[in-house]
A and B are shown apart, each in its own frame.
Chain A
Amino acid sequence: MIFRAVEDADLISRVRCGDVEAYNLLVSRWEKRVFNYLLRLTASPDDALDLSQDAFLKAYQNIRKLDDPARFGPWLYRIAHNEAYSLFRKRRPETALEDAATERNPAPGFPMDLSLAVTAALDRLNPEQREAVVLKVYEGFKFDEMAEVLGCPVSTVKSRLYTALDLLKTELAPMNTRSVSRGNPC
């Protein structure tokens, strides 16, 4: 992880000297993660792709404003987060993510694959809780990095994450004991 951060910092210094290919290399390292992060926020591959492109473009335009190149990841996710929320506000000023989440919900209670159950359970979280889970569980950020991405204190981040996990634990309890135990006999 440290080695990767050093390499990113090296690429960023080259980008700052005008090396566009260095930025393309940086993009290739992060594009899949950023796309999946935005996909889990928006539930729309098209939106996620457009937002990813916008986020990378803004990051390129503002890369000189990045104080600590070792913190490129959280900084990039912060841009992606802002892009996503800007889109939600533009489309639905009042309800934003909440309606988007209910639209993609599969009907609960059906016998479904575990991944579908997880999708349904995630969709029933509120947007802040869902984003906290995505950043921690899927993207592997530390709490201070999550706080940087979300623009809130670490205590708020932890509160959102742990509340979400309690809810997910309840939602997925009957299923994860069956499916995960079946998938992982150890």
Chain B
Amino acid sequence: MRARVIAGGVVSSIAVLVVGWQLGGQPAVTAPAQQSTTSGSGTTGTSTGTSGSTGTGTGTTGGTTGSTGTGTTGGSSATGTFTGDTTQTRYGPVQVQITVAKGTITDVTALQLTNSDGRSVQISQQAAPILRQEALQAQSAQIQSVSGATFTSEGYTTSLQSAIDKAGL
């Protein structure tokens, strides 16, 4: 190849790359996307720490908990929302966000950064582990039925469903 082409090519390519570098460098989107999943990785505390070892293959990874985000830090009194580093998965970049209250992780969310194409539907449709604390007392005024493992006729009489049916809700 001729010297002129090589020289000109190298020079203009470098120019293009520099422009690209300047235009890029944005961090991954920090606002949670519409659909979010939670990731078991990095959770401590109350979760029973399955951390994706059941092989769901969602591809959200151990993004190390970085220190970006709002909230006070400092050992066991940390409170707030923290965002970790971005990891590349086949669905696009994923960032892990954790919510900490008084040193205990209360929520782990995987932020979907590419949420407008079919890929994010796939990953966000995956069932992911959630923390078990949310248990509502039966607000019977609000439900008309319960769904659980099929009860026998005998079992019915002592079940919630029976109570609801009797109340005529």
Partners in one complex: no
Q: Which residues of A contact B (CB under 8 A)?
A: none
Q: Which residues of B contact A (CB under 8 A)?
A: none
